Amino acid sequence: MNQGPFDNDNQFVVSYELLQLLRWLLEFEQDALKKLIQKSITTGTLISSSDLDEDLQSSIIDFFTMLEVLLYESIDEHKMQNVFQKNLIPAINHIDSKVYNNYDADIVNASVNKAKNNSSTRDSAKDIFCKELLKRWKPTKNTIVN
């Protein structure tokens, strides 16, 4: 049975990862947090203490639950991106260095991004990467081809 953000005693639990995120936000994103708070104040969404009711507790729980969901989704996306890039690195490393000098970093990055966005498997990513690289390649008369 999934208890969500509650433990066995029905106490609200905040994960260590979420606490680390909150600490990081407070340490490095104070300006962004301040802008969010100012936006909330100007839109009139903050309520006075006299308007507090039972919904406030559920709002806080919903906020932390959503924040934790977004955190874990971001962690999963980051892990997937790292796996994807590690799978493409062998293909990138097989580019002949003499020819590679004719590819600037923008061409390689654009090809990697296209492969990342349009592939469902490792093999299709490699194929898309190679096709995109060839599409974007502008050989010069000095290009050495083996």
pLDDT digits (tens, 9 = 90+) for 38-67: 888 888 766 665 556 667 777 888 888 899
Q: Hey, which residues does 6 pair with through a beta bridge?
A: 12
Per-residue model confidence (pLDDT) at position 123: 58
Does residue 71 lie in a domain region? Answer: no
> What is the radius of gyration, based on Cα positions, of the chain?
24
Report the share of the chain in percent with pLDDT over 90. 15
Helix pair 105-118, 54-93: axis angle to 10 deg? 120
Q: Is residue 1 over pLDDT 50?
A: no
Does residue 38 lie in a domain region? Answer: no
Does residue 129 lie in a domain region? Answer: yes
Per-residue model confidence (pLDDT) at position 103: 58
Does residue 60 lie in a domain region? Answer: no
Does residue 57 lie in a domain region? Answer: no
Query: Residues 134, 143: contact at Cβ < 8 Å?
Result: no
Q: Is residue 68 over pLDDT 70?
A: yes
Residue that wins the pLDDT comparison between 62 and 124 = 62
Count of structural domains, the chain: 1
Does residue 42 lie in a domain region? Answer: no
Sign of the four-CA dihedral 59, 64, 69, 70: positive
Range of the domain at 133: 76-138
As a three-state string, the secondary structure of the chain is CCCCCECCCCCECCCHHHHHHHHHHHHHCHHHHHHHHHHHHHCCCCCCHHHCCHHHHHHHHHHHHHHHHHHHHHHHHHHHHHHHHHHHHHHHHCCCHHHHCCCCHHHHHHHHHHHHHHCCCHHHHHHHHHHHHHHHCCCCCCCCCC
Does residue 83 lie in a domain region? Answer: yes
Does residue 17 lie in a domain region? Answer: no
Q: Is residue 19 over pLDDT 60?
A: yes
